[in-house]
Structure 1
């Protein structure tokens, strides 16, 4: 059934193995687990650095884990994102070399974290952001640390959703965020190049068979609630988004902000690969606030 195939592609777990570990980058780390408010067990790594400044990295959705994106085992649609592995430990390495501790974890239904249903493009995953912040602030050695978010695609959607929650106000040491390629579900599916009857079939199947309706679950209304200085990074040649939506995201920020437009390949994941090889703008931003 075409509706099931499209729904599987967009929200089905199990496409995101953890394919590298920090020891391959000579990083000192600890395997960690922590639970969300709704009882979902999340799996991650805490890479040890300065106890006074911590980055929490949240990955993109469906085909990604804390370790990044691998093309192995992916179908043609996923391979269209990028044609080689994207190791997120590359940016963890330069962040750690600059003195930061880094908490990176698998969101629910990704990597080694608990599978609990379907991927929701940030709406349920916002609870994972809160859980990660709770975990790091309750560790004795990090209780006074300044915290920055490195939130990538669905990770930034989850982070933006989270700022709309009352629970987010308790994290007074959260100082800044880097938001990489904001993307709402509706614009993504609209720009996949599929006939609308196929897209509609996937949406209908998700609603009727899986009780997941993403068509109205945009994080954009919560952008106004973001309370920390934010750097937005976007590839201007990204074929899977609407750049006016990205501009709207940026315009709706009511905090100190900066927009970094990249001129990269015409691939959604080009900016994700860029992160690991371009430390200066990332480190320059965090050094202002942490």
Structure 2
């Protein structure tokens, strides 16, 4: 039992092994640039800029925890063993998403957040939305600095940790989002809820062990389990936001995303539930499967 708690806590102090970048945009016939830029605190970030010539609209893609800009090869070891028990031992390939966005007329900036892919190591490997928020801010500054993007309409495609980090960045530096038109945010989740579900999946009673696990995480990271709560951060969202979530996702609860949605203080918001699955990865694959709702959201808010 103690070993299980220790392993869970270790996952918050450093990723076991960085996922590789196994796909590139040229596989989908997309021209792209390899780009590098600084996070808000100077961490070097690596990414792709996929141009859509003649467009003034750009979507910035922020990836989930443990993923890269290309996705996650969880059909391969060691990632398969980590995720197969929850039904998520399949590949997630984000190149298809970028092809859809490009073909809809958007430039795309996709990059690796700190401690992921080819981007720099930082914060001793500690994983937290407050640190990744600085990467979101860096991606916005880089987008505005490009000479070929004059006063662009900016949209955010922020998945899971990318969504948590984006909302944290909005809470920290609301002025940085002054010209952001909208956000599409699949699968954000709270650390406490995810850990409670993880404990239950290994046959442990969450109520009996969650506080001990939280204390172990604090000793590893100096952060409390409820720090940087996306439910709280959602109260700082000021851009039109479309949330979507696998309703019966085995790694969270519907009430978690519902609470974030309810706490967004603006009327221009929407929540879409993906039915018929317990597999979290299906939420990451939904855009490639049926992007109609998300493209409609971007299209409505990124006119001009």
Instruction: Please classify the TM superposition score into its range, dividing by the shorter chain length.
Output: over 0.9
2:167 corresponds to: 160
Once residues 65 and 125 of structure 1 are traced to their aligned partners in structure 2, the CA distance between those partners, rounded to angstroms, is 13
Using the size of structure 1 for normalisation, the TM-score is: 0.92
Q: Is residue 35–residue 47 contact of structure 2 (8 Å, CA) maintained in 1?
A: yes
Give yes or no for contact 2:39–2:45 (8 Å, CA) kept in 1. yes
Alpha-carbon spacing, 1:81–1:119, altered in 2? closer, same or farther (3 Å): farther
TM-score normalised according to structure 2 size? 0.88
Structure 1 gap ranges (5+): none
For the residues of structure 2 that align with 1:214 and 1:118, how far apart are their CA atoms?
A: 16
Partner-residue secondary structure (3-state), 1:136: helix
- Residue in 2 that maps onto 1:137: 144
Q: 1:219 to 1:141 in 2, by over 3 A?
A: same
Q: Does residue 1:15 correspond to 2:18, yes or no?
A: yes
- CA drift of 1:160 comes to 0.6
Distance 1:270 1:11 in 2: 27
CA pair 188-229 structure 1, distance change in 2 beyond 3 A: same
- Figure out how many residues of one structure are paired with residues of the other and give that number: 288
CA distance in 2, matches of 1:214, 1:145: 37
1:207 Cα deviation after fit:
2.0
| Structure 1 counterpart of 2:226, from 215, 221, 226 | 215
- Equivalent residue number for residue 273 of structure 2: 261
Please identify runs of 4+ aligned residues in structure 1 that moved more than 4 A: 196-202
Which runs of structure 2 are paired with 1:121-132 in the superposition (5 Å)?
A: 121-132=128-139
Q: 1:59 aligns with which of 63, 81, 87?
A: 63
Cα deviations by residue, 1:222-256 (Å, 9 ceiling, x for unpaired): 21211111111111121211211211111111220
| 1:73-88 → structure 2 map (5 Å cutoff) | 73=77, 74=79, 76-79=81-84, 80=86, 82-88=88-94
User: Which residue of structure 2 aligns with residue 148 of structure 1?
Assistant: 155
After TM superposition, list the pairs within 5 Å mapping 1:1-290 onto structure 2. Answer: 2=3, 3-13=5-15, 14-50=17-53, 51-62=55-66, 64-71=67-74, 72-73=76-77, 74=79, 76-79=81-84, 80=86, 82-116=88-122, 117-166=124-173, 168-192=174-198, 193=200, 194=202, 195=204, 196=206, 202-255=213-266, 256-290=268-302
Residue aligned with 1:140, SS: coil
SS in 1 for 2:89: coil
Deviation, structure 1 residue 81 = 5.1
Deviations for 1:142-191, whole angstroms, at most 9, x for unmatched residues? Answer: 1311000001011100011011123x314432100011112010000001
